């Protein structure tokens, strides 16, 4: 009874696992291989509390192989050597299965030490991680494994888990538990798809409810106290951080102010003010750009205000910036121009700065043409005169194309008229 309710609830078979039907439903490739006794090297990837560890344990405990469990947060190189040392011994006669939780915490050398054993089949690996394995797992090790993604659980899946957890509590305590429908809905949604979190909330609420006529009643008000901020699955150094930042920019780029405000709200709830400020400055230049150049100083002013105010008031100028950017006309013409120019430089296309643009006023003895011969545009009508600015090797190269928006088309019309006279 001292173990958490989530552990007491942990499924013993694949049929008891909540959610993950894309992997565990009868007839799926994953399920058929496991039931046939074929356990490949696998990496389970997904958010916390969605069944990765549970499924791995079920497979491992029914594999018939010698099972070793290690956790990347605490496993040492010596621990890995101990597992490898059983290869070829009586203990490892039926095969060795290594279940490695949180593999992303093993360093590259530790992960490399498993390569040969996995390659020749002397060790079967089941690893799990909450981080994107393509970023955090050593490439050579990952190429020898199949990655299976575990999804956030739906509120319906969570309610199923809560119903089973409620039955366990009632049986253990000999006391009924009544949950208001609105409280149940909140518990199923506020956990962010994390079974462990939702069951932990139920255990806490049931313990706090005073029995009345042999029943513990959980109200919406009680659930609200536990559910505060509990739906936030966010880590400033993990995938959820980068996914949220990416979603914010793509929503603004797609001119959807409602989605953009939603992702800003996530950042504000997580207290990640600096990431929001930095990304909004990028968006103003990259995605709105020259279609509405005033967006850049306006967003800068909003960011400065936010940083001076701090949270929670910082959300107000940032919300102004988000809505402004999302509803503004869009242009990435300057973004494309600088990317193209840098790509040319990386390909070796540069050349010497033309003589008339150089910051010197004398010529060497070997100069064929003496004099800088720079034409000062302000001395000419409309402050423009035809003159070579690109290096000889790049003459005629076009990096910037006027965008189709009103602002850039007005500039194009102006320069077409001025330069057309030259």
CA 358 from centroid of its chain's CA atoms: 46
One domain for residues 338 and 281 = no
pLDDT greater than 80 at residue 348: yes
Write the burial class of residue 181 (CB in 10 Å: 0-12 exposed, 13-18 middle, 19+ buried): exposed
- 306 plus 339 within the same structural domain: no
69-73, 189-193, 340-344, 348-352 — which is least confidently predicted?
Answer: 189-193
Name the H helices within 36-154: 52-61, 77-84, 108-112, 115-119, 133-136, 139-142
Q: Tell me, what CATH number does 34's domain have?
A: 3.40.50.300
Q: How confident is the model at residue 59 (pLDDT cuts 50, 70, 90)?
A: confident
Q: Tell me if 346 is assigned to some domain.
A: yes
| Total domains, the chain | 4
In sequence order, the β-bridge partners of residue 70 are 100
- CATH assignment of the domain containing 269: 1.20.272.10
Together in a domain, 365 and 299: no
| 163 in the same domain as 79 | no
Cα-based distances in Å from 352 to 91, 358, 376, 390, 393: 71, 9, 20, 9, 8
Look at residue 37 and tell me whether its pLDDT is greater than 90.
no
Predicted confidence (pLDDT) at residue 234 exceeds the cutoff of 60: no
> Are 308 and 341 members of one domain?
no
Same domain, 258 and 345: no
Asked whether residue 3 is domain-assigned, the answer is: no
The domain that holds 376 is classified in CATH as 1.10.3710.10
Q: Which domain holds residue 217?
A: 155-227
277 domain-assigned: yes
Same domain, 296 and 378: no
Regarding whether 340 and 323 lie in a shared domain, the answer is no
pLDDT tens per residue across span 352-386: 888 888 877 666 555 555 557 888 899 999 999 99
Give the phi and the psi of residue 215 in degrees, each rounded to 5.
-135, 135
Q: Please tell me the distance from the alpha carbon of residue 22 to that of residue 219, in angstroms, as a whole number.
A: 34
> Tens of pLDDT along 158-212?
898 899 999 998 888 888 899 999 989 888 888 777 888 888 888 889 888 888 8
User: What is the pTM (predicted TM-score) of this model?
Assistant: 0.59
Q: Which of helix, strand or coil describes residue 98?
A: strand
Nearest C-alpha neighbor of 102 from the set 78, 73, 79: 73
CA–CA distance, 99 with 97 (Å, rounded to integer): 6
Q: How many residues can be counted in the chain?
A: 422
């Amino acid at each position: 009874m001292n173990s958490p309710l989530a552990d007491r609830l942990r499924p013993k078979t694949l049929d008891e696992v909540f959610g993950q039907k894309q992997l565990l439903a009868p007839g799926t490739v994953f399920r058929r291989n496991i039931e046939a006794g074929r356990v490949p090297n696998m990496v389970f990837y997904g958010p916390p509390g969605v069944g990765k560890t549970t499924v791995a344990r079920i497979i491992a405990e029914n594999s018939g192989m010698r099972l070793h469990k290690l956790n990347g947060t605490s496993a040492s190189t010596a621990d890995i050597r101990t597992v490898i040392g059983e290869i070829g011994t009586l203990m490892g006669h039926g095969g060795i299965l290594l279940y490695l939780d949180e593999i992303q915490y093993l360093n590259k050398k530790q992960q490399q030490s498993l390569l040969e054993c996995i390659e020749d089949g002397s060790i079967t690996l089941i690893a799990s991680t909450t981080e994107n394995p393509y970023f955090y797992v050593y490439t050579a090790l990952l190429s020898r494994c199949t990655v299976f993604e575990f999804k956030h659980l739906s509120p319906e899946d969570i309610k199923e888990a809560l119903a089973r957890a409620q039955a366990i509590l009632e049986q253990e305590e000999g006391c009924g538990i009544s949950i208001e429908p609105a409280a149940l809905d909140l518990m199923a949604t506020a956990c962010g798809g994390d079974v462990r979190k939702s069951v932990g909330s139920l255990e806490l609420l049931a313990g706090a409810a005073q029995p009345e006529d042999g029943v513990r009643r959980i109200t919406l008000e009680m659930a609200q106290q536990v559910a505060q901020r509990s739906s936030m699955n966010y880590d400033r150094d993990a995938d959820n951080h980068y996914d949220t930042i990416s979603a914010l920019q793509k929503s603004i780029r797609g001119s959807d102010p409602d989605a953009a405000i939603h992702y800003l709200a996530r950042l504000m709830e997580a207290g990640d003010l600096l990431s929001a400020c930095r990304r909004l400055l990028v968006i103003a230049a990259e995605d709105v750009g020259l279609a509405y150049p005033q967006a850049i100083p306006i967003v800068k002013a909003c960011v400065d205000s936010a940083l001076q105010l701090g949270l929670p008031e910082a959300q107000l100028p940032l919300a102004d910036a988000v809505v402004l950017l999302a509803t503004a006309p869009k242009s990435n013409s300057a973004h494309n121009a600088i990317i193209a120019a840098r790509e040319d430089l990386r390909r070796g296309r540069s050349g010497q700065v033309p003589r008339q643009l150089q910051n010197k006023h004398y010529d060497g003895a070997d100069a064929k043409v003496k004099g800088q011969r720079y034409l000062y545009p302000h001395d000419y009508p409309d402050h423009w005169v035809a003159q070579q600015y690109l290096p000889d090797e790049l003459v005629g190269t076009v990096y910037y194309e006027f965008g189709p928006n009103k602002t850039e088309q007005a500039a194009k019309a102006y320069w077409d008229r001025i330069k057309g006279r030259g």
